[in-house]
Amino acid sequence: MGNHKNKHSVVVKFLLHLHPKKVDENAVKYSRTFGLGGISALLFVILATTGMMLRFSYVPVIDRAYESILDLQTYYIFGLLLRNIHYWSANLMVVVVFLHVLRVFYSQSIYFERRKNWLCGLVLLFLVLSFNFTGYLLPWDQLSFWAVTIMTEILSYIPLIGTYLSVILRGGEQVGQSTLMNFYVLHTGLLPLLMIVFMIFHFWLVRKAKGVTTSQPERTKLVNVSSHLVRKEIIAALAIGALVMLLSLFFDAPLKDMANSLVSSNPSKAPWYFMGLQEFLMHIHPSFVAFVLPVMVLSLLIYISYQTSESINVGVWFNSKSGKKQMIKSAISSFLFTLILIFVTEYLLNFRGWFSSMPLIVSTGLIPFLLYLIPAVGYFWFLSRGKKSNKPELLMSIVTIIIVSYIVMMSIGIWFRGESMKLIF
């Protein structure tokens, strides 16, 4: 009996590390977090469990890797299902983590005592994408081989260290055995370890900031965590489990022909979440895709969280009602503008031809970049002068424009690029 009580209290103690006993009634409303952080954590647990099982059959050697996946699917009981669950959870995780980022960002939950957690979150985002990307190569089929070839090629355009980085990651000049080993070790060793460390830090910081944000500055009624929050978490976990199971039962993870370094697949596409980058590459110099823009976007995301303006309304969606309207307008403008620019730069403008006497980085980099920047700056000038938006809202607009633009490019890349990456309708 004493033993049982002791065991029980360990579980309770663990839960109390994740949750306090009582929580603010407004903080447990489903529309506050949509459970997205918790669902990301659950997906990670599913991935870690299925990943460990997959390790029993997978062989990280280029002549055997593809075959070992085929064996898993054909001879192992529930082998195909296991691979499908891992595949679908991984893809869902990218989507869910992205939605979680949108939720914390647009609900103004990244400022003051939450800044550190936003920065920790950016590391987690990098880890989630690296996890996905390293796993992508492991089946060693045409799809994965060429996707990794493209992505590591893009990496080599980072000034000064790019080629070096690409060679380190590939473990040589070409994607081959050393690349597979590097990716396998990262995917099943280092990344899980880093992920667990940063996730624990992330949860601890949520508790340290006294829970998630609410739109009420003062705490209202406190309710019991077990009957309110934990119940909702169990429902969300069951729903997500059911979704993963349904996807895995009805849609198999892709597996093309075995990788062949001599015959490239046509079209060769990056993983779907990086397709925005590949689409962007079709319009602008690779240095901008690999370096200039990522550095600018990352700096912006870090810079925003350092705002201490009095007009920040922590916990309030889009900062205010007018902020919300402004985000909708920014999203629509960005959607139309990006579409137009894709078509114009695809069919009408030939920067390379017109400015052929200039270095490529100017003719296909700087000039198209300015072409995008000038109207964007004009738009912000209009917002800040004409509409009197405050600074947090203005910064939020910039991020909205970037996000929508990326989603448009990603969608074009995934669905509207056919053979030789030509636009198809």
**Is 122 a residue that touches ligand HEM (CB under 6 A)?**
yes
User: How far apart are alpha carbons 119 and 397 in whole angstroms?
Assistant: 20
The residue to which tokens 């199971």 are assigned: 245
Residue 233 carries which side chain, given as an amino acid letter?
Answer: E
> By CB under 6 A, which span of 99-107, 167-175, 176-184, 322-330 interacts with ligand HEM?
99-107
User: How far apart are alpha carbons 267 and 130 in whole angstroms?
Assistant: 23
CB of 211 to ligand HEM, least distance (A): 7
**Is 118 a residue that touches ligand HEM (CB under 6 A)?**
yes
Is 224 in a helix, a strand, or coil? Answer: strand
**DSSP β-bridge partners for residue 229:** none
Residue 323 carries which side chain, given as an amino acid letter?
Answer: G
End-to-end CA distance of the chain: 69
Cβ distance 60 to 135 under 8 Å? no
> By CB under 6 A, which span of 39-47, 153-161, 186-194, 250-258 interacts with ligand HEM?
39-47
Is 22 in a helix, a strand, or coil? Answer: strand
Mark residue 421 as left, alpha or beta (left: phi above 0; alpha: psi -120 to 50; beta: remaining): left
**Residue among 207, 33, 15, 20 at smallest CA distance from 113:** 207
**Is 121 a residue that touches ligand HEM (CB under 6 A)?**
yes
Cβ distance 192 to 48 under 8 Å? yes
**Is 395 a residue that touches ligand HEM (CB under 6 A)?**
no
**Is 117 a residue that touches ligand HEM (CB under 6 A)?**
yes
Residue 335 carries which side chain, given as an amino acid letter?
Answer: F
> By CB under 6 A, which span of 34-42, 245-253, 338-346, 361-369 interacts with ligand HEM?
34-42
Q: CB-side exposure of 43: number of CA atoms within 13 Å?
A: 25
CB of 90 to ligand HEM, least distance (A): 12
**Is 40 a residue that touches ligand HEM (CB under 6 A)?**
yes
Is 95 in a helix, a strand, or coil? Answer: helix
Q: Residue 40 or residue 389: which is nearer to ligand HEM going by CB?
A: 40
Residue from 97, 148, 395, 403 in contact with ligand HEM (CB under 6 A): 97
- Residues numbered 212 to 231 that lie near ligand HEM (CB under 6 A) are 212-213
**Is 53 a residue that touches ligand HEM (CB under 6 A)?**
no
**Is 111 a residue that touches ligand HEM (CB under 6 A)?**
no
Cβ distance 215 to 317 under 8 Å? yes
CB of 43 to ligand HEM, least distance (A): 8
Site string for ligand HEM, 180-209 (x = CB under 6 A): -------------------x--x---x--x
**Is 104 a residue that touches ligand HEM (CB under 6 A)?**
yes
**Looking at residue 345, what DSSP letter applies?**
I
**Residue among 139, 397, 137 at smallest CA distance from 270:** 137
> By CB under 6 A, which span of 107-115, 146-154, 224-232, 400-408 interacts with ligand HEM?
107-115
Q: How many residues does the chain have?
A: 425
Count of residues that interact with ligand HEM, criterion CB under 6 A: 27
Site string for ligand HEM, 230-269 (x = CB under 6 A): ----------------------------------------
CB of 237 to ligand HEM, least distance (A): 12
**Residue among 223, 207, 232 at smallest CA distance from 38:** 232
CB of 87 to ligand HEM, least distance (A): 18
**Is 41 a residue that touches ligand HEM (CB under 6 A)?**
yes
- Binding residues (CB under 6 A) for ligand HEM: these are 33, 36-38, 40-41, 44, 97, 100-101, 104, 109-110, 114, 117-118, 121-122, 124-125, 128, 199, 202, 206, 209, 212-213
